[in-house]
Amino acid sequence: MNYEPAPNPVPPRQMALPVAPTAYVTPLLVALNVFIFLLETLAGGSHDPCVLIRFGAKFNALIQEGQYWRLVTPIFLHVGLFHLLFNQYALWILGRDVERLFGSARFVILYLLAGVWGNVASMLFVEAISAGASGAIFGLVGAQLAFLWVNRERLGELGRQQSLNLLVIIGLNLTFGMAVPGIDNWNHMGGLVAGLLLGVILAPRYAVAFFPPAHLTVVDATPLHRRLWFVAGVAALTVALVPALAGLAPTGPDDALLLRLCARRLG
């Protein structure tokens, strides 16, 4: 019986993901955070509660009076040099990766919304003044984990290993936050959950596209303009819910006295 040998199998072709070559927003955020910290220092020091309140820290009593912007401004404030350096190191390492994976526009959306919802969680469960980019950074961790899950079939074993590494990082940081007093773990958890949910919707979903005559490439099957309805919906829901949620925020018996002292000191 005559037969022809089977042709040699074609080796699987590796195609690069269409990620951005450079992260532009992350360095700007780091520079902005450092600049604002210098302003805090010149104004009297970032450990001074009056300085923090003046610069826009999360302070429940004032949020209840309608200063809802205090759920945004704490993202850019830090308390102490160690807090600043630790967060900027994490932002520099993680932020560039997430920005390149998601693109700069989606990165900004993730960072800000995760930071806001981290502060909403802090507002609901933490009475103390708080500030920091930690909630937004945890949101980036959640978004990266969501990206790996959404693209798990294409990323294979590499994606599973990276997901496991991220879960370990999340577990260690939340455990550290529970063990060390003064760390706003509710902010971390709020940002993490927001980043996970936002990441599932906003994460690029990669597919192989064929372009004649015989060119295969990896493309994002869900560009941002197809998800703007979701972003607008989340932003509108946030604006609608914050006034009602602010009424549930705990406040301290000395908040009014602190505000009077700060008003007298800072004019």
Catalytic, out of 46, 83, 130, 188: 188
Residues 129, 49: contact at Cβ < 8 Å?
yes
Tell which residue, 40, 54, 60, has the closest CA to residue 124.
Answer: 60
pLDDT at residue 13 tops 60: no
Classify strands 206-211 and 215-220 as parallel, antiparallel or unpaired: antiparallel
Distance CA 262, CA 267 (A): 8
Sole residue written with tokens 């919707």: 201
Q: What confidence tens digit (pLDDT) does each residue in 177-215 have?
A: 888 888 899 999 999 999 999 999 999 887 666 556 555
Q: At the topology level of CATH, where does 25-261 sit?
A: Rhomboid-like fold (1.20.1540)
State yes or no: is 83 an active-site residue.
no
- Tell me the sheet residues that pair with 207: 219
CA angle 54/56/60 to nearest 5° reads 105
State yes or no: is 134 an active-site residue.
yes
Q: How confident is the model at residue 219 (pLDDT cuts 50, 70, 90)?
A: low
Whether residue 250 is preceded by a cis peptide bond, meaning omega within 30 degrees of 0, is: no
Distance CA 139, CA 190 (A): 8
Percent of the chain residues past pLDDT 70, beyond the cut? 87
Catalytic, out of 46, 122, 130, 134: 134
Most confident of 131-135, 156-160, 169-173, 261-265: 131-135
- Tell me the sheet residues that pair with 191: none
Q: pTM of the entire structure?
A: 0.88
60-64, 150-154, 238-242: least confidently modelled range? 150-154
Tell which residue, 19, 148, 27, 173, has the closest CA to residue 91.
Answer: 27
Q: What confidence tens digit (pLDDT) does each residue in 81-115 have?
A: 999 999 999 999 999 999 999 999 999 999 999 99
Beta strands (DSSP E) in 83-235 are 206-211, 215-220
Biggest alpha carbon distance in the chain? 102
Q: Name the 3-class secondary structure at 58.
A: strand
Task: Tell the burial category of 110 from Cβ atoms under 10 Å away from its Cβ (0-12, 13-18, 19+).
Answer: buried
Confidence (pLDDT) at 210: 54
- Show me where the domains of the chain are located: 25-261
